Amino acid sequence: MLGALSAAVFFGGAPVSAQEKPNILVIWGDDIGQSNISAYTRGLMGYETPNIDRVADEGMMFTDYYGEQSCKAGRSSYIMGQSVYRTGLSVVGLPGADLGMQEEDLTIAGLLKPLGYMTGQFGKNHLGDQDRMLPTNHGFDEFFGNLYHLNAEEEPENRDYPGVAVLADGQTFREAFGPRGVIKSSADGAIEDTGPLTKKRMETVDDETVAAAIDFIKRANDQGIPFYVWWNGTRMHFRTHVKDEHFGISGQDEYGDGMVEHDMHVGQLLDVLDELGIADNTIVHYSTDNGPHKNTWPDAGSNPFYSEKNTNWEGGWRVPSLVRWPGKIEADSVSNEIMHHMDWLPTFLAAAGNPDIKEQ
């Protein structure tokens, strides 16, 4: 596993001084299959992803990499480095449910804070929507993003949504079970609901969260503090709503347009590292939570693996994973080792100067 190999293979096991601590930028899509990335399939899907491909060209591609079979499971296993059988975060709960991160749950962000890192999460979270479950109560200095999957957030716009129906306790259905808006929060306890994630806002919400992530990176760099940033795009979760100026950009369909747009967002994040002159001291990891959904067939890209998200077949678990760290990871390299989301917690901690986190 990568966690066991990280110190020896990637980082040499040597202690890391404060001046050498790498920045860590984690870039995630949503429900993206390996075939969606042209680095894996050389444009088989009919479009190219040159910015995502750049991470592979300048770093390592994993061929046998596994997420989980659903969103919450994939995100929880990554950020906490634990199996969902330990955390209980294997399924998606309704808005307001008591299913989310608990006070005792450790995260990559929380473990990096004592090592001197600024930590920010931007984009989709999906690890519980109560205030106590927000990323800023679990090691992140700042959070700006949405708390659910897209189709759940557009349900209040459906004609048959029973929002005004009154329940036995006097609440309306919307009050009891409606999704919260896009949340902006900070570790000092401030929480702002910036408004609902409507179908119209879905066209540009990734623009908003990319801009927030870039601003955070620049502020951390200005202060000379290493950063850990986890950006989570909403592409390519069902449903895809692409803004007018990007409609047709892939030459395929709206799904392809969304994937090309997602690649453009990745490019913005990579570009800011170059502009600030910090690319050589920044680990960049690209991945996603789980495999794609067949409701976007034939464009979802789960082939050649059988089945889809929310199943225990290969197509639900096998996901893209690319990592770049100039001078540490050989460019244009390929790993056929079996890897999993859980492996990144000990890997990043080793890179930041704590190779013994598993024993602690």
User: Between residues 38 and 19, which one has the greater pLDDT?
Assistant: 38
User: Mean pLDDT score of the chain, rounded to an integer?
Assistant: 91
For the segment 227-254, what is each residue's pLDDT rounded down to a tens digit? 999 999 999 998 889 999 999 999 988 9
Q: What confidence tens digit (pLDDT) does each residue in 251-266 have?
A: 988 999 999 999 999 9
- Percentages helix, strand, coil for the chain (3-state, rounded to 5) are 40, 15, 45
Could you write out the DSSP letters of every residue in 235-272? TTSSSP---GGGTTTTSS-HHHHHHHHHHHHHHHHHHH
pLDDT score, position 93: 76
pLDDT at 1 over 50: no
User: How many CB atoms are closer than 10 A to CB 168?
Assistant: 5
Rounded to two decimals, the pTM is 0.94
Q: Of 65 and 4, which is predicted with more confidence?
A: 65
Instruction: Give phi and psi for 200, each to the nearest 5.
Output: -65, -45
Is pLDDT of 2 > 60?
A: no
Confidence of residue 17 (pLDDT cuts 50, 70, 90): low
pLDDT of 112 above 90: yes
Can you say whether the dihedral through the CA atoms of 209, 215, 221, 225 is positive or negative? negative
pLDDT tens across 320-332, in order? 999 999 999 999 9
pLDDT score for 12: 47
Domain boundary assignment for the chain: 2-12+24-149+180-352
**What's the pLDDT tens digit per position in 177-227?**
999 999 999 999 999 999 999 999 999 999 999 999 999 999 999 999 999
> What CATH number should be reported for the domain whose range is 2-12+24-149+180-352?
3.40.720.10
Residue 329, both tokens: 């990871």
Q: What percent of the chain has pLDDT over 70?
A: 93
326 upstream amide cis, omega within 30 of 0: no
Task: Yes or no: say if 225 and 116 are a contact pair by the CB < 8 Å rule.
Answer: yes
